[in-house]
A and B are shown apart, each in its own frame.
Chain A
């Protein structure tokens, strides 16, 4: 969103992600998935309004939103790829690069910050072997990032592992969490 004016405020370094390892792009919107999009389009008076949901579908299928994915969505919704990229880059939840099998987000905004969120982050970075925030572990299993307010402040510290929302995480519970991930 805002350009990087405050040091490490913004995008982590994704240099370690190997895009080539993910192979050639396969279209997302065929068969049932195309029908899912067609149904979505009935919810809105414009095609453009289905953009965010369509991007979610791309991420669900491929794990991230590549330029090819953006182009496919652009074609279906009669938008330009550049426009779609402009939207993708605005929102923090679309991955513009491949991420680990388990994408772990830890809330560290003030209400969680005063309840020890930093220690949860440290434990996660250490135990996942990712080395630093935003990087993926060498085995490709984990990516850990800090995230702004997850909206569960009474359950500090909330952590998201992919779609799973976990409340009241503490450093002690980190090994147990990681151990149960297949």
Chain B
């Protein structure tokens, strides 16, 4: 599938407007497209004003949790005499999610600008962009953009002549899904194993290097610039369903679908039209069976649930799942659900940091049982055992990786029990329609 696609007329391209334009990656090209005007504007404002505009806009965290960004920024108390830090979470590793990768590889300067605005708003002089080690291309473009921005005096000890110091540093991860968890990210940035920390204290009190810290997702920080330029009302009006979900959202679509890729739609867009119209529907001769709409950690939706869903924070909850990171995994009727879920469990078992017993043991145990069922060696008791382990893995650990492993397992058994039982009873999985190569 070619990329980038021509945006569908029903997309609203605010952040993805310049995807595919190689010239937008350079400083000159980015400035031609209005780049760094928002930072210039921001540096002429009081930090509190910026926080208020972002609060007013209704922008919520795009990394998965959906916490109101302006409120998060307001937790950073000015004048406490301590150095403040901004961390940009670019450790995008949630299976199904690849929107931040596209943002960084096509519009790296947008992230430098977003980091600078965010840092200024929270009283930080330093922003770290923590990018996963596997993202060699986004890393390249980000390093390039940071270098150009320093050379042009946009960031550095006198950012855009404002007298303010704003440093942006790119920090390369080394292969660990867990470092996308905010406290693990901070541990990793400090040069430690990426073991999540117990909260409280929350990062705004004691974050990276023990100092007040804000951690924001790539997409969240990039959204700050257009909000400052166009105003909170403009952003707030982009909402088709629930006023608590505003603006546009990038959804990355993958799996068994005609047109995988990254799409940007206004919050509240109908999921059914998204899947069949924008993404082109199922592959030839197949039917959609299930969707995991927000990355591997959210509940699996049946097509009935998915087709009635409106794409925003509240809409996905009403549809039996969560918006999460916006990583839409589409699964068709040629895929055995048990295989899909067992592979997800294996992912979580591999990525568990091993600190908490429920997670370390639970993810591995779950994987073993699921693979046994997949291979036709499961027993009737296995399903109850899986549900029991899932319950023990939920809400009992330092971070939510454990819960994330239980979620697809529990929702999968609940919604596709028939497929599990058929395998246990010795029946092979038969795709409903013939698989197309």
Contacts and interface: CB of A to CB of B under 8 A. Distances in A.
Contacts of B367: 6, 9
Nearest to B139: A163
A9 B193 contact: no
Interface stretch (A86-94, A122-130, A135-143): A86-94
B3 A90 contact: no
B268 to A, nearest CB: 23
A149 B95 contact: yes
A100 B133 CA distance: 19
Interface in A85-111: 86-87, 90-94, 105, 108-111
Contacts of A44: 209
B94 interface: yes
Contacts of A7: 368
Interface stretch (B65-73, B226-234, B251-259): B251-259
Interface in B345-365: 346-347, 349-354, 360-361, 363-365
Interface in B187-220: 188-194, 209
Given A93-B134, A151-B97, A1 B354 contact: yes
Nearest to B176: A91
Contacts of A1: 176, 178, 350-354
Contacts of A152: 98, 101
A43 interface: yes
A108 B172 contact: no
B266 interface: no
Interface string A41-78: 00111101111110110000000000000000000010
Contact of A48 (B191, B260, B340): B191
Given A6-B346, A111-B95, A149-B177, A46 B209 contact: yes
B343 interface: yes
Contacts of B371: 6
Contacts of A81: none
Given A52-B191, A155-B1, A91 B136 contact: no
B340 A113 contact: yes
Nearest to A47: B191
Given A46-B190, A110-B329, A90 B176 contact: yes
A123 B352 CA distance: 29
A149 B136 contact: no
Contact of A111 (B191, B193, B255, B364): B255
Nearest to A150: B134
Contacts of A87: 191-193
Nearest to A116: B437
Contact of B134 (A2, A51, A52, A151): A151
B276 interface: no
Interface string B10-49: 0000000000000000000000000000000000000000
Nearest to A113: B343
Interface in B321-375: 327, 329, 331-332, 335, 339-340, 343-344, 346-347, 349-354, 360-361, 363-365, 367-368, 371
Contacts of B281: none
Nearest to B257: A154
B364 A2 contact: yes
B177 A148 contact: yes
Contacts of B96: 111, 153
Contact of A50 (B191, B255, B339): B191
B95 to A, nearest CB: 4
B431 to A, nearest CB: 12
A153 B133 contact: no
A2 B360 contact: yes
Given A53-B172, A151-B134, A153-B327, A5 B361 contact: yes
A93 B262 CA distance: 27
Given A1-B176, A90-B176, A149-B347, 5 more contacts: A6-B346, A9-B350, A115-B256, A151-B92, A151-B93
Interface of B: 1, 3, 83, 92-98, 101, 132-137, 167, 169, 171-178, 188-194, 209, 252-256, 260-262, 296, 327, 329, 331-332, 335, 339-340, 343-344, 346-347, 349-354, 360-361, 363-365, 367-368, 371
